Amino acid sequence: MRIVLAEDNALLREGISLLVKSAGHEIVGIAASGPEILPTVLEHRPDIAVLDVRLPPTFRDEGLRAAIEARDHLPGLPVLVLSQYVEQAYAKELLETGAAGTGYLLKDRVGRVEEFLDALERVAAGGTALDPEVVSQLMNKRDPLQSLTAREQQVLHLMAQGLDNLTIAGELVVTERAVTKHIGNIFRKLGLPASDSGHRRVLAVLAYVNA
């Protein structure tokens, strides 16, 4: 995959480069500040843009705003936003530009190399990756999800992060068939329209918890 990376911290930039290279990907362009992002993305047309939220010059949310702007110019551009802290309001703003090919993760997750690479590839392929902490913040809003069993709530949580059934099964150490059954129950209990896997399913779940 060809990646554009926006990150102002040299140490971290180097770490992420090492990481993606180890998985056979390539960093084709680097932006060290907010205003550099759009030209770099337009120049390289990468498979995915990995953007830090806080960048020079103002160290606020320029990465997020650049992601939204880049989506305006290149609709469907997969974007993975990394942040020092997650904020459900930011997740919503990002998802409003389209859930397909959208990722929003805590920077901490980069250390979980396999999971991070999975998320990277999933987003580049048009999927969704939401940080578990964002999902928790969002699900806290809809309480009680009492009609769901504890296991079903776990499944819902993982589903909202954008994981597919096979990965969810791996996380929970159950069979994929069991996961499919749980998901069927969840959709029935919450009255959600049955959706196939991928970002549409995430959207359906988020639309429910956000309602």
Partner 1 sequence: MRTAIKRSTAATAVLASGLQTALPALAGVIVLPLLVLLLPFGPAVLKPVRVLAGLERERAGRHLGYPLPEAAYAERGGRLRAVRDPATWRALVWMVVHGFAGTFLGLLGIMLWPAIAESATIPLYWWLFPPESFAGMFVIIRTWPEALTLAPLQAVVYTAAVVWLVPLIARGQLRLARSLLGPNEAELLAQQVERLTETRAEALESHGAELRRIERDLHDGIQAQLVAVSVRLGLAARALAGEPGSPAAELVKDARTGIEDTLGNLRSLIRGIYPPILADRGLTGAVHALAGGQRIPVTVRVPDDLPRPPAAIEAAAYFVIAESLTNVTKHSTASHAEVVLDGDGQSLRVTVQDDGQGGADVRGGSGLSGIRRRVAALDGTARIDSPANAGTTIEVLLPCG
Nearest to 80 by CA among 21, 89, 9, 71: 71
Q: How far is the CB of 108 from partner 1 (least distance, A)?
A: 5
Contact 135, 161 (CB under 8 A): yes
Candidates 43-51, 54-62, 124-132, 169-177 — which segment interacts with partner 1 by CB under 8 A? 54-62
3-state SS class at 145: coil
Work out whether 110 is an interface residue with partner 1 (CB under 8 A): yes
Minimum distance from residue 109 beta carbon to partner 1 (Å): 9
E strands, 19-64, in order = 26-31, 48-52
The tokens describing 78, both together, are 């997969």
We find the least distance from the C-beta atom of residue 42 to partner 1, in angstroms, to be: 25
Per CB under 8 A, does 131 bind partner 1? no
Binder among 88, 97, 102, 165 for partner 1 (CB under 8 A):
88
Instruction: Give the integer Cα–Cα distance in Å for 180 and 9.
Output: 42
Contact status: 26 vs partner 1 (CB under 8 A)? no
Task: Work out which of 71, 107, 122, 199 binds partner 1, going by CB under 8 A.
Answer: 107
Q: Write the burial class of residue 96 (CB in 10 Å: 0-12 exposed, 13-18 middle, 19+ buried).
A: exposed
Q: How far is the CB of 188 from partner 1 (least distance, A)?
A: 23
Query: At its nearest, how many Å lie between partner 1 and the CB of residue 155?
Result: 21
What does the DSSP assignment read for 74-132?
A: STT--EEEEESS--HHHHHHHHTT-STTEEEEEGGGGGSHHHHHHHHHHHHTT-EEE-H
* Contacting positions for partner 1 (CB under 8 A): 8-9, 11-12, 14-16, 18-19, 22, 54, 59-61, 84-85, 87-90, 92, 107-108, 110-114, 116, 137-138, 140-143
